[in-house]
Amino acid sequence: MLKGIPKIISPELLKVLCEMGHSDRIVIADGNFPVESIGKNAKIIRCDGQGTYEVLKAILKLFPLDCGIEKPVTLMQVTPGENIRTPIWEDYKNAIYEYYDNAGDLVGEIERFAFYEEAKTAYAIIATSEEALYANIMLQKGVIAEN
């Protein structure tokens, strides 16, 4: 065991987070996301039994966002015409606010199929058991600046 590492972060996930470099992306996928077909070229990490919000909170403790780009956090837009609410998005923003004062400015949305295409280039995809719809979130890694 290590100090300061959230229990939800498995050794495999910790290794992947360490391997990732500046501009690499990671997807935290909900239970409906086609992880295996989209992630053919990515490292797939199973976090069965966990929700996306809990995984996001744990990752943000360790993972610098790429604040050199406009929107280092990407959400999958609700398909036009669907009457689906996404209250989990507010939870995500609140988790990001714990580390970044401008959390609202860091989060963008892209159309569902564009999100899938972007996810195909992700370094890793985390498969969760999240039941909320449109709960997929992609993070782009930044750098740790010297103090």
Please compute Rg for the chain using Cα positions.
14
Q: One of 30, 48, 53, 66 is an active-site residue; which one?
A: 66
116 is known as an active-site residue: yes
> Cα-Cα-Cα-Cα dihedral of 56, 59, 63, 65, to 10°?
0
Alpha-carbon span 121 to 9, nearest angstrom = 22
* Cβ(23)–Cβ(141) below 8 Å: yes
Kindly state the tokens that stand for 51: 């929700």
Give dist(CA 32, CA 75) in Å, integer.
15
Residue 17 contacts residue 63 (beta carbons within 8 Å): yes
How many of the other CB atoms lie within 10 Å of CB of 73? 22
91 given a catalytic annotation: no
Which residues belong to the active site?
Answer: 22, 66, 116
